[in-house]
Amino acid sequence: MLVRGLRRATVIDTACELFAERGYRGTSMKDIAETLGVRAPSLYNHVLSKQDILFAIMDKAMDRALDAQEAALGGVAGPADQLRAATESLVLDFLRFPAEVTVCNTEVRSLDPVNRAAIVAKRDRYAGRVRAIIADGCRAGRFETAHPDLAAFAVLEMGNGAKSWFRPSGRYPDTYVAREYGAFALRMVGCRTQM
Amino acid sequence: MLVRGLRRATVIDTACELFAERGYRGTSMKDIAETLGVRAPSLYNHVLSKQDILFAIMDKAMDRALDAQEAALGGVAGPADQLRAATESLVLDFLRFPAEVTVCNTEVRSLDPVNRAAIVAKRDRYAGRVRAIIADGCRAGRFETAHPDLAAFAVLEMGNGAKSWFRPSGRYPDTYVAREYGAFALRMVGCRTQM
DNA sequence: CGGGGACTAACGAACGTTCATTAGTTACCG
DNA sequence: CGGTAACTAATGAACGTTCGTTAGTCCCCG
C-alpha cells in the first residue's frame, strides 16, 4: 500500500513543527517520516539531507519576516510610527509562525558554517533596521533612553514572551496583542509624543 | 598520563558551558571529558548519568535565582520598588551566570519527565512572583497597563536580550545594565510615580 | 483509443559512525 | 596497603544516509 502525494513543502513544514518541539538534534529523520506516515529513506526523494531541511525552514522564515518588516515600514514616517510598525510586524510574525520563529531562535547553532553565515546575515539585517529606528529617534530627540542599542535588544527579545504565552484560540486576536507590544516598545524607549 | 583531582562540581560546571554553547544533545560525554583532559568513562566516577548532570545544573541555577529574587525583594515595599528590584535581580542573574541561564531557558525539553516537573515548578514560582507584583501594582493603581500578565511575560523575556549583548569586559558593569532594565520594566508597565 | 516507456516516490536492507553506559583493570595517594 | 579514581575495551542502540528495487501515474506515439 503506497502512500503518495508527499511534497517537499510538506516534509519541511512537518519537520519544522518537530524541530520546534524537540529540537533539531532531538528529532530524527525517522520521527519526521513517521509523522508523515512514511519510512525515513523516502524523505530523501524530496530533500537532500537533514541539514537541507533545517536551512530551508530558516531561510524561508527569514525572508518572510524581512518582507513583512519592509512592507510594514513602507510609507510610515517618523521614528515613533516606525518603531510601532516594526514592533507590531515582529510580534505578528512571532504569533503567526511560532514554530518557524522558534527554530530560527534556537537552531542557529545546528547550521553548517556556510548556512549559518547566510542566516545570520539576514538576522542582522532584520535587527539592524530596528536598531537604526531607535537610534534615529534618539538623535531626533523623540526618544529618550540612555543606551539605544540596549533598548533595541530588549524590543527584539520581547516578542518571545508573547510567543510562549499566546494561543490562537484565546480571547484576543494576534493584531491586538501586537498593538500592545507596539505600545510597550514606545514606552520602553521613552517616546515623548506618542503612547 | 593520569589526571587526578576531578570533582563533581568541576564536571558539572564544564558540562554547563558546553551545553550552553552546543546544546544538551549536541554535547557528548566525550566532549565534556576531553575538555577536562580525561576519558569519557571516568566521568561516571562523579556523576550518575548525563541526565544527572543536566538536572544538577538546572536545579542549582533555579535555587540560586530564587534565593537572589527573595533577597532582592526582602524589605522592599511598594509595587514600583518591588518590580525594579525583581527586574534587577533577574537581569543580574542573567549577566552573571549566562551559561546556567541559557541551559535553563533552552534545555527544559531535554529533561526527563520527573526532572522536568521539578524544574518547571521552580520556574513557575519565579515567574509567579513577578506576575504578582505587576498585578498588585495594577490593582493599586500604581501601574497602568491593559494586560498585566502580558507585561509580565515581556519583562521576564527582556533579560535574554541583555544576556546575548552583554560582555563582562565591556564598558558598563552588570549592575549598571541591570538598573537600565529595571527602568525599562517600570516604563513598560506604565508606572505613574517613578521612573 | 490503446500500449509502452519515462518518471515519481515508495519500500526494506544495510552501511559506517556515534552515542551513553558498563565491566574489568591498573596506578597513585594517604 | 586499601581505596579512590583513572584507564582500556567493549556493549547495544540509534543515528543519517545510500542502495537496489518496485509500485503506481502520466503522456506520447502509433
- C-alpha distances in Å from residue A29, one per residue of A2, A20, B25, B136: 19, 14, 15, 48
* Residue appearing with cell numbers 519544522: A16
- Enumerate residue ranges in chain B where pLDDT < 70: 1-5, 193-195
Report the distance from CA of residue A43 to the C1' of nucleotide C10 in Å, as an integer.
Answer: 10
Euclidean distance between CA atoms B53 and B188, whole angstroms:
38
User: Between these two residues, A6 and A20, which has the higher pLDDT value?
Assistant: A20
Nearest-Cα distance to chain B for A1, in Å, is 36
Å between A52 CA and C21 C1'?
32
Residues B70 and B54: their CA atoms lie apart, in Å, by 24
Q: Which of A33-37, A151-155, A191-195, B92-96 has the lowest mean pLDDT?
A: A191-195
Write the Ramachandran bin of A74: left for phi over 0, alpha for psi from -120 to 50, otherwise beta.
beta
**Separation in Å: C26 C1' and B162 CA:** 50
Residue A106: pLDDT over 60: yes
The pLDDT tens digits for A32-47 are 999 998 999 999 989 9
Mutate one of B171, B187, B192 to test the A interface: name it (highest A CB count within 10 A).
B187
Q: Which residues touch strand D (CB under 7 A)?
A: A 1-2, 4, 27-31, 40-41, 44, 49-51; B 2-6, 33, 38-39, 41-42, 45-46
A116 vs A191, higher pLDDT: A116
Query: C-alpha grid cell for residue A40?
Result: 525515513
Note the pLDDT of residue A193.
67
A140 or A4, which is more confident? A140
Neighbours of A60 (CB within 10 A): 16
Could you tell me if B100 and B16 are in contact, meaning their C-beta atoms sit under 8 angstroms apart?
A: yes
Check residue A64 and give its pLDDT: 98
Q: Are A95 and A57 in contact (CB under 8 A)?
A: no
Cα dihedral sign for B35, B39, B42, B43? positive
pLDDT at A93 over 90: yes
The reported pLDDT for the residue numbered B193 is: 67
Q: How far apart are CA B195 and CA B186, in angstroms?
A: 7
Nucleotide nearest to B25 (CA to C1'): C19
User: Is B150 close to A110, i.e. CB distance below 8 A?
Assistant: no
Averaged pLDDT of chain A: 91
Phi then psi dihedrals of residue A38, to 5 deg: -145, 165
Encode pLDDT of A52-61 as tens digits: 999 999 999 9
Q: From residue A139, how far is each of A79, A87, A144, A146 by CA, in Å? A: 10, 20, 9, 11
CA B41 to C1' C27, in angstroms, rounded, equals 17
**B54, B16 Cβ separation under 8 angstroms:** no
Q: Which three cell numbers stand for residue A153?
A: 535588544
Q: What is the pLDDT of residue A2?
A: 37
Between chains, do B26 and A109 touch, taking CB under 8 Å as contact? yes
> Percent helix, strand and coil across chain B, each rounded to 5?
75, 0, 25
Contact A27/B26 with Cβ under 8 angstroms?
no
Tell me the count of A-B CB pairs closer than 8 A.
80
Q: Nearest chain A residue to B105 by CA: give it.
A: A106
Question: What's the pLDDT tens digit per position in B85-129?
Answer: 999 999 999 999 999 999 999 999 999 999 999 999 999 999 999
